[in-house]
Amino acid sequence: MKAIQVGLLGIGTVGSGTFNVLQRNQEEIKRRAGRGIEITMVADLDTARAQAAVGAGVQVVADARAVIANPDIDIVIELIGGYGIAKQLVLEAIEAGKHVVTANKALLAVHGTEIFAAAHRKGVMVAFEAAVAGGIPIIKALREGLTANRIQWLAGIINGTTNFILSEMRDKGLDFGTVLKQAQALGYAEADPTFDIEGVDAAHKVTLMSAIAFGIPVQFDKAYVEGITQLGAQDIKYAEQLGYRIKLLGIAKRRQADVAKGMADGIELRVHPSLVPAKRLIANVEGAMNAVMVHGDAVGTTLYYGKGAGSEPTASAVIADLVDITRLHTADAAQRVPHLAFQPDAMSDLRVLPMSEVVTSYYLRLSVSDQPGVLAQVTGILAALGISIDAVLQREADEVGGEGATATDLIILTHDTVEGTMNQALTQMQALPTVLAPIVRIRKEELV
């Protein structure tokens, strides 16, 4: 049988990895797919570099549209990235009747609804395993492996840069700025690391996972996004003393209505630093590694762990998509797995909840005057708002500021409460004359 012909748009780190792995494991892949898969055309602005990467047997062009226009190309791999030209090229490839494989989580998180609708109309596939968690097959697990389950929640360490930074801060007691510079020197962080450290990259990924898990449209604009730039080394140290580790988590959770508490059905979609019990496996995911926990009603809690980035780990996911498309290339479009797991006419209109309606528990650190009555003032405010305290840790002033210090740290862990209520409590506590600095609030996730 004639090999499937693939056109590659962009041959950077992931593109070259995809080409190399496909070449190296060609026979094994052919045995799995039932026919050969060959990259026969590459588009890259640096044609000389691209030609050197793929050799003389592959046609290299500067114009990506030449790949899309080639009638012999069955599948287009988009590895350009970003929202701009990549969106145009993906939509043009779909319109030309080409299947698309992409690692572009930003594009799909923002424009996925439009792209998937276009693909559905044309009867082609858009595969994106490589867009979330690199080599970890989390999209396939959510879309197919867990299809019998009503998924209740998922939580993931899905950005290797931030996990490396937090691991180094915990292990070495260094502050954020120092470790960020180390991460950049080692190549874990970009020269402009904003998307990573501000949580945007993780939010793109959890947005895609939430759509597949719950059968809702892709809604990145409704995600709550908070990064790690404000975390202090002392908070990581205190969390450790309390039996927790701080991780940047992408969280999507189904919430059932509770009439007694005035809470409606909805989906929580959020990215922020979280205290996670140190005994959880995910709390022990270190360095640049990724992990995703998924809880389904039938299977319980499952964990997926591996390399979330890199040339060949990401290429592994790209090629898995190529194999899937190759197997289903001639199948009736109606019999293929839907892009977002649920049939397009059966998507849910469940509301994505604003952060003020989210229910979780909290770690609070208050820098307070070292004098009698302060703890009573603070706990009185929490009690008046119905916020229950789980634990309190009060440091001696000389432990925090040295001998003769007049301020100390008060650490409070709370039970579950509504974020809006906690916001009220923080406003009232911050107004106390005995509270000497902005209060640190980090959400806490037990993940059970």
Does 197 lie in the same domain as 51? no
Rg (CA), the chain: 24
CB 142 within 8 A of CB 212: yes
CA distance to 51, 117, 234, 253, per residue, from 95 (Å) = 28, 11, 54, 35
pLDDT of residue 401: 62
3-class SS of residue 135: coil
Write down which residue in 307, 331, 347 finishes a domain: 307
User: d(Cα 57, Cα 39) in Å, to the nearest integer?
Assistant: 10
Q: How far is CA 199 from CA 69, 155, 337, in A?
A: 37, 14, 30
* Distance (Å, whole) CA 250 – CA 43: 34
**Residue 135 within any structural domain of the chain:** no
At 118, which helix (H) or strand (E)?
helix 105-122
Let me know whether 59 and 35 are in one domain: yes
Can you give the pLDDT at residue 263? 75
Task: Check residue 390 and give its pLDDT.
Answer: 96
Question: What are the CA-CA distances from residue 417 to residues 235, 236, 384, 423 (Å)?
Answer: 21, 23, 13, 10
What averages of pLDDT result for each successive group of 10 residues across the chain (448 residues)?
A: 94 95 96 96 96 95 98 97 94 98 97 96 96 95 97 97 96 93 90 96 98 97 97 94 97 86 87 98 96 98 95 96 91 85 92 96 96 94 98 77 78 96 98 96 96
CB atoms within 10 A of CB 214: 25
Assess if residue 190 is contained within a domain. yes
**Phi, psi (5° rounding) for residue 244?**
-130, 160
| Residue 107 and residue 27 share a domain | yes
Domain boundary among 127, 152, 168: 127
The strand pair at 266-277 and 244-255 is best described as antiparallel
Q: How far is CA 234 from CA 161, 183, 304, in A?
A: 20, 20, 30
Give the model's pLDDT for residue 175.
Answer: 92
State whether 180 and 119 are in the same domain.
Answer: no
- Residue at a domain's end among 100, 127, 154: 127
3-state secondary structure of 391: strand
CATH number where 34 lies: 3.40.50.720
Tokens of 398: 């000389």
Spacing of C-alpha 429 from chain mean position: 33
92 and 241 share one domain: no
Q: What is the residue type of 350?
A: L
Per the structure, how many domains does the chain have? 3
Positions marked active-site: 205
Instruction: Report pLDDT digits (tens) over 16-32.
Output: 999 999 999 999 999 99
Residues whose CB is less than 8 angstroms from the CB of residue 71 and which lie 6 or more positions away in sequence, other chains included: none
Cα–Cα distance measured from residue 215 to residue 294, given in angstroms and rounded to the nearest whole number = 15
Residue 338 lies in a domain: no
Identify whether residues 226 and 291 lie together within a single domain: yes
How distant, in Å, are the alpha carbons of 159, 198, 230, 276, 383 from that of 203?
10, 10, 18, 19, 34
Phi, psi of 61 (to 5 degrees): -130, 160
Residue 316, in any domain of the structure: no
Supply the pLDDT for residue 93.
98
110 lies in the same domain as 164: no
List the CATH number of the domain containing 155: 3.30.360.10
The CA distance from 1 to 406, in Å, is 80
Cα angle 155-156-157, degrees, rounded to a multiple of 5: 145
Q: Are residues 190 and 224 in the same domain?
A: yes
3-state secondary structure at position 51: helix
Q: Which domain holds residue 176?
A: 140-307
Give DSSP secondary structure letters for 149-187. Answer: S-EEEEEEE--HHHHHHHHHHHHH---HHHHHHHHHHTT
**C-alpha span between 407 and 411 (Å, rounded):** 13
CATH of the domain at 368: 3.30.70.260
**pLDDT in the model for residue 186:** 87
Query: Is 353 a member of any domain?
Result: no
Q: Are residues 293 and 372 in the same domain?
A: no
362 and 393 both lie in a single domain: yes
- Compute φ and ψ for 37, nearest 5 degrees: -130, 120
Task: Answer yes or no: do 183 and 242 share one domain.
Answer: yes
Rounded to whole angstroms, the Cα distance separating 106 from 79 reads 12
**pLDDT confidence of residue 295:** 98
Quote the pLDDT of residue 397.
62
In a domain, 350, yes or no: no
Are 297 and 149 within one domain? yes
Determine the pLDDT at residue 418: 95
Residue 109 lies in a domain: yes
Would residue 351 count as lying in a domain? no
